Amino acid sequence: MKTAPNLDHLDADALRALAAELMGKLERQAQDIHFKDTHIRKLTHEIAVLRRYRFGKKSEQLGGEQGLLLEDAVDADIAAIEQELINLGGPQPEQKAVSQPKRQALPPELPRIQVRHEPHSTTCNCGCQMQRIGEDITEKLDYTPGVFSVEQHIRGKWACRQCGTLTQAPMPAQVIDKGIATSGLLAHVLVAKYADHLPLYRQEQIYARAGVKIPRSTLAEWVGVCGVRLQPLVDALREAILNEPVVHVDETPVQVLQPGSKKTHRAYLWAYAPGAFQDLKAVVYDFTEGRSGAHARAFLGDWRGELICDDYGGYKACFEQGIAEVGCMAHARRKFYELHQSGKSQIAEQALKSISQLYEIETRGASLPPEERQRLREQQARPIAGALYAWMTAHRIKVPDGTGIARALDYCLKRWAALTRYLDDGRLPIDNNWIENQIRPIALGRKNWLFAGSQRAGRRAAAVMSLIQSAKMNGHDPYAYVKDVLTRLPTHPNNRIDELLPQNWVPAAASRR
């Protein structure tokens, strides 16, 4: 117990300083309490609304595959909110009714893998040798792609006959306490859903064919809790990206269905990644309700660097705040390519030839250090770019306003400074194709899952896909990465979270060597 400090030896100035320090601590504590209370009330209201929807009148719910997808999202959201409330020290989740059936025993025909846990020492404090008097067996369902098995955690019970002391090794910490799923099964569910784009109702059918019935609601709960547990890694990955001087950004629409509504509306997934020539290979997806440039400004925060993007007007406010705009030559080329394909325009053909020469120089300089790449551009690319600008300016005067070729020329001439900024810095790529490649998995998944079931589901998908895609960019197997992270996360220190990021990750087995 702390004793009150002796204040007799302090003068008036020291006392005032001490009082100010204590008042500052009290104010910060009051702010923390207010923030937690406000957040807890918000989450409590949100979970009550979701529960009313999930367990309310059937007439208010959707049917068919849309209903299945939405129910998955609601179940996952409820589990995620419950986990957030636990993290904040809020009210415990409502206990399930006693009348509900007990968890079904795992199929006896599945192979069992025994994992034994014994105390480090079986010598009692009194000096006697303990005797083994029994054991507890906890079964967890594991999944190696294609094969189910059961992990039997056998914890021997040891007792001292002299003094009656009982000791037993604890169960290893799990991402989901008291759940039956191992990190391997959880990783497979996440990778199948967010990398292979298999909705949970399809996974439920696949697992049933393998002899294990896992309710879709249980799968959704696992997804919701894992999303909350993995969020600190995504936050750390965002900070790592914003430490880079060059960042790519692009956005793509996704449809979102909200509980209680039978309609979808358009939301957006934004993708942010370091420059293509940077050492850090990572991407973070950010789910937002709309396409307003305020979302990009909120993500970038105080970051000031060179932003590679298309001509979307939402980024303009970023450039007014000190961020440098870097244009995408691929977008400029695409406008001429479409004209050439549709009308065989000679002006478009000549523009394509000049732009092609710029890309040939980029191919030769791709493997060079930034200084040498910039020198190559200065010697070979800048003269071509200067001639192309003069040629476009001369032809724009001859082309009538409103035509396709006029719009293509205007796009380039108005943005010429941004399109050619890469010539001044060897760290900058010529286009934004790097981020477009990272956003393709979103477009592929969109064809499979059609829409996100809720705002939370969209944010959760963005977070998990950020880690999976970043693992791929660093040459890791997403399943192996997610499984190892989920295994280590419960006991991993928060101040060393960077060790689990895809660009720094070393498998646990390799790190022990």
Average pLDDT over residues 52-72: 52
Average pLDDT over residues 130-135: 90
Backbone angles phi, psi at 115, to 5 degrees: -120, 110
Q: Which pLDDT tens digit goes with each residue over 451-494?
A: 566 788 888 889 999 999 999 999 999 999 999 999 999 999 99
- Whose CA is closest to 418, among 303, 314, 318, 311? 311
Q: What integer pLDDT is reported at residue 181 of this predicted model?
A: 93
CA of 198: how far to CAs of 71, 144, 465, in Å? 15, 17, 13
Q: Which pLDDT tens digit goes with each residue over 501-510?
A: 999 999 876 5
Query: How far is 139 from 439, CA to CA, in rounded Å?
Result: 40
* Higher pLDDT pick, 420 / 90: 420
* Higher pLDDT pick, 341 / 224: 224
Res 1 pLDDT > 50: no
> Which helix (H) or strand (E) is 471 found in, with range?
helix 455-473
Percent residues over pLDDT 90 in the chain:
50
Q: How confident is the model at residue 60 (pLDDT cuts 50, 70, 90)?
A: very low
Average pLDDT over residues 277-288: 95
Res 405 pLDDT > 70: yes
Res 298 pLDDT > 80: yes
Res 23 pLDDT > 70: yes
Q: What integer pLDDT is reported at residue 452 of this predicted model?
A: 62
Average pLDDT over residues 65-87: 66
Q: Which pLDDT tens digit goes with each residue over 301-313?
A: 999 999 999 888 8
* Higher pLDDT pick, 415 / 264: 415
Specify whether the CB–CB gap between 131 and 164 falls below 8 A. Answer: no
Res 356 pLDDT > 90: yes
Average pLDDT over residues 93-120: 75
Q: How confident is the model at residue 64 (pLDDT cuts 50, 70, 90)?
A: very low
From 179-193, 205-219, 228-242, 251-265, the region with the lowest mean pLDDT? 251-265
Query: How far is 260 from 235, CA to CA, in rounded Å?
Result: 31
Query: How far is 179 from 193, CA to CA, in rounded Å?
Result: 20
Q: What integer pLDDT is reported at residue 513 of this predicted model?
A: 46
Mean pLDDT of the chain: 85
Q: Which pLDDT tens digit goes with each residue over 374-400?
A: 999 999 999 999 999 999 999 999 888
Query: How far is 226 from 187, CA to CA, in rounded Å?
Result: 9
Res 101 pLDDT > 60: no
Percent residues over pLDDT 70 in the chain:
86
Query: How far is 296 from 308, CA to CA, in rounded Å?
Result: 13
Q: What integer pLDDT is reported at residue 61 of this predicted model?
A: 47
In sequence order, what DSSP letters do the residues of 318-376 get, joined into one string? HHHTTPEEE--HHHHHHHHHHHHHHH--HHHHHHHHHHHHHHHHHHHHTTS-HHHHHHH
Give the type of residue at 229: R
